[in-house]
Amino acid sequence: MEDSSKVLVTGGAGFIGSHLVDRLMRMGNFVRIVDNFSSGNLNNVRSWLGDDRFDLFRGDLKDPDIAKKSVEGVKTVFHLAANPEVRIAETDPSIHFNENLLVTFNILEAMRESNGAKQIVFLSSSTIYGEPDEFPTSEKYGFSLPISVYGASKLGCESLISSYCYTFDLRGIILRCANIVGERMTHGVIVDFVRKLQKNSIKLEILGDGTQNKSYLYIKDFVDGVILAYGSFLNEGEAVDVYNIGSFDQLNVKRIAEIVVGEMGLQDVEFRLTGGVDGGRGWRGDVKEMLLSSEKLSGLGWKPALNSEDAVRESCSELLHSMKGDDRVSKSLPIVREV
């Protein structure tokens, strides 16, 4: 990627987005981020404030005008803005429709009308595969039947991106991710367990039957994969390309609980399994087993430095360190440019 590249990172103040911003800035790019700060944290990107190559907008991409202003002058859109809480659809499915599908549509429309923004890198999810009968699951797995509204919304976004690329001469890369963990994370099973144990250090509730078995990828390994896949994509002529990004192994929920207990220095904690729903799931729409095939990305030379267990342990340690002080900033964000 050339130093003169101008890119937009939607959701750039969030957990994953801010780590990508760090890497893009260190590579010498001009980086604009747009975030509504519903879950993003200004402190995640504070180190770049005042840098001439960094531009930060506060705005909601559900507004088409904000989407249009955000893509002005950029070449590539790294589209990470979304509501990451899979379970929220149990009470309000419209959130995933609006925050995922509508926002993606607005971004694509803005790109279609733009003179320069012709490349999109989209953060999708392993949940688009639903419950495959092939493990590890490759990008060519042909029966994508999501079992969650979140997964369905991500698959819908993929379809929109593909159609816009082929119809309006855009180019897109779709990244289907395992569970990403690490510094700055604000949700997920590790965060859930730590918060529960801080309230009750002798008993831990575990949703489901404890056998849910999935992959966990450390954030730095994820960013390495994104940059490598994007660099390869720039040199190819395909309109759309798809990569899985996940660790090569799995970890069940009960083992994650054991790691968290150990990192917190606790002993004799009683695990209370709820039993779950629909055969031991933590909630309706929870995929019990996930293992992506990342051979395509590995073929470019990518290999995660941490396996699932080490990624969870490192992430838990970082989370506990960050929880020693609440450094979140005011939502008024007076130093952030409105868009």
Instruction: Using the predicted structure, report yes or no on whether residue 329 has a pLDDT greater than 50.
Output: no
Read off the pLDDT of residues 245-284 as tens digits, 9 standing for 90 and up: 999 999 999 999 999 999 999 999 999 999 999 999 999 9
Q: In the prediction, which pLDDT does 333 show?
A: 46
Tens of pLDDT, residues 294-324: 999 999 999 999 999 999 999 999 999 998 8
What pLDDT does residue 336 have? 54
Predicted pLDDT of residue 4: 45
Q: What is the pLDDT of residues 141-191, one digit of tens each?
A: 987 899 999 999 999 999 999 999 999 999 999 999 999 999 999 999 999
Q: How confident is the model at residue 102 (pLDDT cuts 50, 70, 90)?
A: very high
Q: Confidence band (pLDDT; 50, 70, 90) for 86?
A: confident
Identify the pLDDT of residue 172: 97
Confidence of residue 62 (pLDDT cuts 50, 70, 90): very high
pLDDT band at 335 (very low <50, low <70, confident <90, very high): very low
Going along the chain from its start, the domains and CATH numbers come out as 6-251+278-326 (3.40.50.720)
pLDDT of residue 144: 83
Average pLDDT value for the chain: 93
User: Would you say residue 225 has pLDDT above 60?
Assistant: yes
The 3-class SS string of the chain reads CCCCCEEEEECCCCHHHHHHHHHHHHCCCEEEEEECCCCCCHHHCHHHCCCCCEEEEECCCCCHHHHHHHHCCCCEEEECCCCCCHHHHHCCCHHHHHHHHHHHHHHHHHHHHCCCCCEEEEEEEHHHHECCCCCCECCCCCCCECCCHHHHHHHHHHHHHHHHHHHHCCEEEEEEECEEECCCCCCCHHHHHHHHHHHCCCEEEECCCCCCEECEEEHHHHHHHHHHHHHHHHCCCCCEEEEEECCCCCEEHHHHHHHHHHHCCCCCCEEEECCCECCCECCCCCCCECCECCHHHHCCCCCCCCCHHHHHHHHHHHHHHHCCCCCCCCCCCCCCEEC
pLDDT surpassing 50 at residue 328: no
**Mean pLDDT of the 206-213 span:** 96
pLDDT at 199: 97
pLDDT at res. 88: 74
pTM of the complete model beyond 0.85: yes
